[in-house]
Structures are given as structure tokens and as C-alpha cells.
Chain A
Amino acid sequence: DIQMTQSPSSLSASVGDRVTITCRASQGISNYLAWYQQKPGKVPKLLIYAASTLQSGVPSRFSGSGSGTDFTLTISSLQPEDVATYYCQKSGDFGPGTKVDIK
């Protein structure tokens, strides 16, 4: 079983800040990684798949990178509507999530 970890578990940043979330796989997974956003009380939403491909309709301030075991999700300029928990996923395993809020 592949274990997915995320860091940090939570963060607080100001509007306009650049935010980076890290996801690590316990073994190499090539670029087989997706990122999801779940706003409070809402359904999860796919942001990025194949580690770096932006899902249609997702704002360009979101980007993903990485390959192998280490991946990042970056929000280039944090907006109030980005308050959410972000999850990485490799097939049958989700990461524990990173909660993002506004300072």
C-alpha cells in the first residue's frame, strides 16, 4: 500500500500570498497524482490531475508540479474563496488534507 502524506496539516496566509502545499508518496508514483479542493460543507472538486494538468474551469492561480515521490500544489495569489481543505490522491489513497485559511 502506498502512503500519502501532506504538509503542513494547516496554514494561515494573507490574501495575495503565495501558498505551497506538499504531498509525498511512500514510493515513486511517476506523475499519477491528483489534487482536490473541498470548501467547508461542500463537495470535493478536482483541481489538478496527472500532477500538473489543470482541470477545465479551474483558475490559473492554481498549479501543480512534481514527479516520483514529491509533489506540490501552489496557489500563486491566495483569494478569500480559496479557503478550503486540499487533498492529494494517488488512485486508491488520499492524503490527510491541508486546511488553508485567511490570516
Chain B
Amino acid sequence: EVQLVQSGAEVKKPGESLKISCKGSGYSFTSYWIGWVRQMPGKGLEWMGIIYPGDSDTRYSPSFQGQVTISADKSISTAYLQWSSLKASDTAMYYCARRVVVVTAGDAFDIWGQGTMVTVSS
């Protein structure tokens, strides 16, 4: 079964660092981009960035560039999303998702992780 399994919920204080994970299984992890999507409480989906685990090529949304770091360890089929200094406004659900590219027809996220809730509060 193709799946992405994310790390568990986190409660952190402002200024703390955090790294959450997304482990892929059931497919060739190095052959598909992995994306990260933020959903703040009661709000819509926001595309944060993507990484190609095969060569760690990474692209960020301008809104998230410099705010987070996306990485991957292909040896353990895991992608990561990390913050060096959390803010209360980082409180959200974070999803990883597998990106499929359809030749001449764009791309989409076909497999999603279960989500990781990050709460930042003093």
C-alpha cells in the first residue's frame, strides 16, 4: 500500500525549533516529489514547497521561503519540514503529500499523509 506516515502532534513554545517528518512506503520514494501543505485552524490549504528526494532539489512558495526548511533523507524514505524559531502564527496542521506529474497536464498531490498538528503557545 502506498502511504505517507507523518510524525505526531507537537506542542512548542515561541522561539523553539522543530522538525517534523513524513515517511513514504509502498513506492519508489526517490521518484516522486514530496510537498508540504499548511492549513491554519479553520482556513484553507496553502502550498509551502516541494522536494525531490532523488537529488534534494527543493522549491519554496515565496510566502514560505526563508521561514521553513524542507529536506529529505532518501536512505530512510523520509522528508522533513523544519523551523528554527517558531512563532504563534505557525500553529497549524501540516500535511505532506506525494506530487505526481502528468505529462502535458500539470501535477497534483495524489497521496497525503495524515497530518501533523503543530501548536505554538507560551
Chain B positions near chain A (C-beta within 8 angstroms): 37, 44-47, 59, 61-62, 95, 97, 100, 102, 105-110, 112-115
Contact = CB atoms under 8 A, between A and B. Distances in A.
Interface in A29-74: 29-34, 36, 38, 43-46, 49-51, 53, 55
Contact of B46 (A30, A45, A50, A94): A94
Given A30-B106, A49-B102, A94 B45 contact: yes
A94 B43 CA distance: 12
A55 B110 contact: yes
Contacts of A97: 44-45
Majority SS of interface residues in chain B? Answer: strand
A53 to B, nearest CB: 7
A93 B61 CA distance: 9
A49 B47 contact: no
Interface residues of A, number: 29
Contacts of B97: 44
15 contacts: A29-B106, A30-B105, A31-B105, A31-B106, A32-B106, A34-B108, A34-B109, A38-B45, A43-B114, A44-B95, A44-B97, A46-B108, A89-B109, A94-B44, A95-B44
